[in-house]
Structure 1
Amino acid sequence: MVAAKNISDETKNEAIKVAKATQKPRQTKEQTKLIAAGIEKGIAEYKKQHKNKARDRDKARKQDIKAKARTAKTAESETSAVASQSNAHLLPWGLLVISWIGFISFSLMK
């Protein structure tokens, strides 16, 4: 009876409507109630499965978002590493040019 407490009134009413719609001419009320109870269980099981699938889809969506964020961070750190490497490449050449300019200007002043 624990499962009956979890079933909403809306589900019960829906199950009764379906059971009455499929009722045979000589079918007793007890038989209709048993059919309605079976339909209630089926609807409850369907809703439970639907809820679990929705939860799984939400988890997968959140994992995709996290994976994309991690990928973006990795790409950003790689880009900054490449940029710092290209700047490090220019530093020795810049110092060489400045030293030559200084040397030439010093020798022209004499």
Structure 2
Amino acid sequence: MNRNSKDVSPETVNSAAAIAKSTQKPGQTKEQTKLIAQGIQKGIEQYKKQQKAKARDADKAKKKQHKAKLLKSASIEAAVEDVKPATLPWLLLGISWLCFAAYILFV
């Protein structure tokens, strides 16, 4: 039907022919119906290409969002890990000062 007929699925060809036959008008020749079917087939192929492109773009956006989420959670975990070691020395210093104050007060 077209120059890339080996790239076209048989389902597309069949559905285009069925649509062309269902919209066929009285007195319409087979050649005219064949041309209409080719036009419908091109439209179906174009639609499929657009849908594939949309799916690829959506997949890329999803992967980008997931990657950003992972980076954000990794940076939060790194920040939490940085805070935890910093609190330990201050805690030990506070305990030592309390023990020193208790020693001074009770001795």
Scaled by the length of structure 1, what TM-score is found? 0.83
Q: Which runs of 5+ in 2 are unaligned?
A: none
Counterparts of 1:32 and 1:97, CA distance in 2: 96
Aligned to 1:87: 88
CA RMSD of aligned residues (A): 1.9
Scaled by the length of structure 2, what TM-score is found? 0.85
Instruction: Tell me the CA shift for residue 86 of structure 1.
Output: 1.4
Give the number of the structure whose alpha-carbon radius of gyration is greater. 1
Counterparts of 2:39 and 2:77, CA distance in 1: 57
Counterparts of 2:10 and 2:33, CA distance in 1: 17
Identity value in percent = 46
Aligned to 1:55: 56
The letter for the 2-side match of 1:92 is L
**Aligned 1:15-54 pairs, distance under 5 A:** 15-54=16-55
Moved more, 48-57 or 81-90: 81-90
Q: 1:4-31 CA distances to partner (integer Å, 9 max, x unpaired)?
A: 2211110000000000011010100000
Instruction: Report which of the two has the higher share of helix.
Output: 1
Number of corresponding residues = 104
